[in-house]
A and B are shown apart, each in its own frame.
Chain A
């Protein structure tokens, strides 16, 4: 396991992790007894299916990982109204990059999915944008300079 780390999750994300954890524990119990777990009756192929296919070592390591995550979770909450013009976790940021308009939601690493416009707060761009306000320009430093002009910030976490 990597050194101590905090996992930022939405409420839905946390609920999913808790369910996965409970399901995996149930699979472990079923496997120990030699039964086919009830959770596998779902057609949705998921972590539980995977754990059932794999050996007990994989199942144990996944359960340990989830326990670690659950112990080190912080729920993402909307900031106070006065601070909703600042980019924070859970914000959808509308930017202008080299004349192109773009938008993405900044989220914790476990829920990040760049293909769906959800970028991690630990990515270089996510990290650079955090804490900046509407109207500011954020430079992501590297040999190639990229400037993100923040046009709009929106919070809509359920």
Chain B
């Protein structure tokens, strides 16, 4: 039980970890990683239900998908372009980040390495059966093996879009035109495309 308690205390740190992307955009008291996980779980459950997915698996995928951020950096699509200087960073955020294919591959590989290492560290002391389950769900999410994982990977982007648009309406500061472009390049799930249309209808 001690090992499970330690795991809980570590994952609990995500409750206070503000998401770096919002902080970079100058959003005060922005969403934490734990809040993002909550929002995604609710979205994936409600939209996933319309797709006849295995909801237990969908929820586990949503819960596990960012656990690695207890130890891994919260990377954004703009890394490694962002300077530390906030004014300079604001300039970078005005354009969509562009990378060569070889840099895209390098970034993706590095991200996977950091996240896998962090996940291994996080679950290392858990009892074998729980550790195996979390690692299997994580593997499914990170590689998009099951239908549920492919759906939750896209829902993760959709919920980020929704949060971004909510912040744009409340604070400005978000380059909503870029976000609109981005989401239409990366989402292809019909139910999530419908959700994006509903978000646009409500907020524009």
> How far apart are the CA atoms of A115 and B107 in the complex, in Å?
9
Cβ distance B4 to chain A, nearest Cβ, rounded Å: 19
Is the contact region of chain A dominated by helix, strand, or loop, or is it mixed? mixed
Is there an interface contact between A58 and B188, defined as CB atoms closer than 8 Å? Answer: no
Partner of B184, one of A2, A98, A117, A124: A124
Q: Is A100 an interface residue (CB 8 A)?
A: yes
Partner of A123, one of B51, B95, B147, B186: B186
Q: Is B104 an interface residue (CB 8 A)?
A: yes
The stretch from B9-17, B18-26, B30-38, B174-182 touching chain A is B174-182
The stretch from B39-47, B62-70, B82-90, B135-143 touching chain A is B135-143
Is there an interface contact between B139 and A125, defined as CB atoms closer than 8 Å? Answer: no
Q: With a CB–CB cut-off of 8 A, which chain A residues contact B195?
A: none
Is there an interface contact between A119 and B186, defined as CB atoms closer than 8 Å? Answer: yes
Is there an interface contact between A62 and B145, defined as CB atoms closer than 8 Å? Answer: yes
Is there an interface contact between B176 and A117, defined as CB atoms closer than 8 Å? Answer: no
Partner of B108, one of A50, A54, A115, A121: A115
- Residues of A in contact with B (beta carbons under 8 Å apart): 2, 45-47, 49-50, 53-54, 58, 61-62, 65, 97-98, 100-102, 104, 109, 112, 114-117, 119-126, 140, 142-144, 146
